[in-house]
């Protein structure tokens, strides 16, 4: 097998023709014979470059509304023939089939058509048959054929043409073939995802080229960021626009996602009259501050006051536009990232002084995205539905009742607690102005009693003028024993929320009744590992 092979004949048929002209002109200068179809043929001819219609080669016109154009032995024979196999070459000669050394083909925009909201019939017509078959054939026979399967490879291919004069090495051809199979595998996965029912257990992931990160969680770990393609990426943080700042790190992306999700969930959960704004402050995946108020200023102040020590170097997410006043608030405070639906020009001017500060534009997270959570374990993947939507059951199980104000606070608190790492305990309170905020949080402990005693209560006690008796305590899972209730009573807590479901639920309820504590069961656990 010869190492370097000259391109003598090319087949070009593309949907997107941007930046194709340079390649066509270079091929013409090298004396390459060009076959083409339809609009691509017209485009090449408009450049003054000789081009032959595929129909002239096959003896058949394009039929079935363009569904069948290149599916013919005279096309695929020329691509798939093994140049070192004498029998293959004899058959080419017998049937007057020219060798095709270069295939430049892209695919119908299936993903873009789906994303546009097109009808099912329109989407089906964007399932490419001939194009993907040509790409597969050329990639399979990379030992003899060069395949360029997307406009992303136009520049490296053109550079190769100019440097090597139309001669290619097997290593170069294999590189292009690898890129081609990346295109086809992603394309097939996108089609499968569209066809697949929502409850299917088959998983096909489609992601674009990975963005190399400086490192992973730690400097000695390599990392990359992949954005899921198509509908899976819609309305997510991965689609956020970066306005300024240094490159996002692995940890930045995780924390930003946690901030965006917790702010969005809090926004949807808090029942405030009129306008409302949610602000989340996240550090190491946990909200150290979370608030929903009628103004951005109050929400920001309360969220920051949740744990101002931990907020240092954190990520802050808003559900409202960041204006100049809000931007100025951060001038003497160190944070890594600000996320908001928009930034005013005046805010951007102020924040531009912090050159390393990242600004991300992302809309409010929908209440339900339908996403799945994918995590790796050694040798495999775990996949589950995202924990989305608010709890709908709030059953009072004690003799002491919840009043309406605490009930609304409980709904917000469940969302706040949901975003803390298990075992999680949250205390939420209302400000004098009626805003909801996270006033104490304990997370990531082997037992929830430690979360309550050692973390939640000490953090709450740093808040001046906040009544613990009017606050609500939330647990992300059931209380297995009455000890947590007894501890809560010791601190003066009067309102508690938990999923229920323990074999000792009745003991826990009795402990609440003895202490005069009102307790709600939601029937839904929110573990977060």
CB 311 within 8 A of CB 301: no
Q: Which residues contact 152 (CB under 8 A, 6 or more apart)?
A: 179
How many whole angstroms from its chain centre is CA 299? 27
Helical (H) or strand (E) element with 277: strand 277-283
Annotated catalytic residue, options 6, 17, 140, 325: 140
**Rounded distance, CA 143 to CA 177, Å?**
10
**Rounded distance, CA 205 to CA 182, Å?**
12
- Could you tell me which of 493, 188, 240 has the C-alpha nearest to residue 363? 240
| DSSP 8-state assignment for residue 246 | S
CA distances from 442 to 289, 488, 511, 512, 518 (A): 12, 13, 22, 21, 21
284 catalytic, yes or no? yes
The total number of residues shown for the chain amounts to 529
- Could you tell me which of 242, 275, 281 has the C-alpha nearest to residue 260? 281
With H, G, I as helix, E, B as strand and everything else as coil, classify residue 518. strand
Annotated catalytic residue, options 6, 234, 284, 325: 284
With H, G, I as helix, E, B as strand and everything else as coil, classify residue 343. strand
Q: Which residues contact 429 (CB under 8 A, 6 or more apart)?
A: 409, 436, 437, 439, 463, 466, 467, 470, 471, 472
94, with CB counted inside 10 A (0-12, 13-18, 19+), is exposed
CA distances from 1 to 5, 27, 169 (A): 10, 24, 11
Q: Which residues are catalytic?
A: 140, 284
């Amino acid at each position: 097998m010869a190492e370097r092979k000259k391109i003598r004949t090319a087949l070009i048929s593309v949907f997107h023709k941007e930046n194709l002209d340079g390649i066509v002109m270079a091929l013409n200068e090298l004396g390459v014979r060009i076959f083409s179809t339809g609009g691509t043929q017209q485009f090449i001819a408009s450049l003054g470059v000789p081009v032959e219609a595929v129909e002239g080669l096959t003896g058949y016109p394009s039929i079935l509304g363009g569904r069948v154009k290149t599916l013919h032995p005279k096309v695929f024979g020329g691509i798939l023939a093994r140049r070192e196999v004498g029998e293959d070459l004899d058959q080419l000669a017998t049937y007057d089939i020219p060798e095709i050394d270069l295939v430049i083909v892209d695919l119908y925009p299936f993903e873009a058509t789906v994303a546009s909201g097109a009808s099912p019939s329109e989407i089906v017509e964007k399932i490419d048959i001939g194009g993907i078959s040509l790409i597969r054939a050329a990639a399979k026979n990379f030992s003899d054929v060069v395949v360029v399967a997307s406009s992303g490879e136009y520049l490296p291919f053109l550079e190769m043409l100019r440097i090597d004069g139309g001669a290619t090495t097997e290593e170069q051809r294999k590189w292009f073939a690898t890129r081609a199979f990346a295109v086809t595998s992603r394309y097939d996965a996108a089609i499968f995802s569209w066809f697949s029912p929502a409850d299917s257990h088959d998983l096909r992931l489609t992601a674009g080229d990975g963005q190399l990160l400086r490192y992973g969680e730690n400097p000695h770990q390599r990392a990359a960021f992949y954005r899921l393609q198509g509908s899976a990426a819609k309305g997510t943080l991965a689609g956020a626009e970066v306005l300024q700042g240094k490159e996002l790190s692995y940890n930045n992306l995780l924390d930003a996602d946690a901030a965006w999700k917790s702010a969005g969930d809090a926004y949807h959960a808090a029942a405030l009259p009129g306008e409302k704004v949610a602000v989340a402050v996240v550090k190491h995946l946990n909200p150290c501050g979370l608030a929903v108020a009628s103004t951005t200023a109050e929400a920001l102040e309360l969220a920051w006051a949740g744990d101002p020590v931990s907020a240092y170097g954190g990520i802050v997410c808003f559900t409202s536009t960041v204006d100049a006043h809000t931007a100025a608030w951060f001038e003497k405070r160190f944070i890594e990232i600000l996320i908001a639906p928009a930034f005013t020009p005046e805010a951007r001017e102020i924040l531009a002084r912090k050159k390393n500060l990242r600004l991300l534009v992302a809309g409010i997270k929908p209440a339900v995205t339908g996403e799945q959570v994918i995590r790796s374990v050694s040798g495999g993947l775990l996949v589950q539905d995202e924990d989305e939507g608010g709890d709908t059951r709030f059953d009072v199980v004690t003799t002491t009742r919840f009043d309406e104000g605490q009930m609304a606070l409980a709904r917000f608190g469940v969302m706040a607690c949901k975003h803390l790492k298990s075992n999680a305990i949250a205390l939420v309170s209302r400000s004098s102005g009626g805003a909801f905020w996270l006033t104490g949080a304990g997370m990531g402990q082997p037992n929830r009693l430690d979360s309550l005693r050692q973390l939640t209560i000490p953090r709450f006690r740093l808040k001046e003028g906040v009544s613990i008796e009017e606050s609500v305590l939330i647990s992300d899972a059931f209380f297995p024993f009455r000890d947590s209730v007894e501890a809560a009573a010791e601190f003066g807590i009067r309102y508690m929320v938990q999923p229920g479901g323990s074999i000792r639920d009745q003991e826990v309820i009795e402990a609440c009744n003895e202490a005069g504590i009102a307790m709600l069961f939601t029937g839904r656990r929110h573990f977060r590992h």
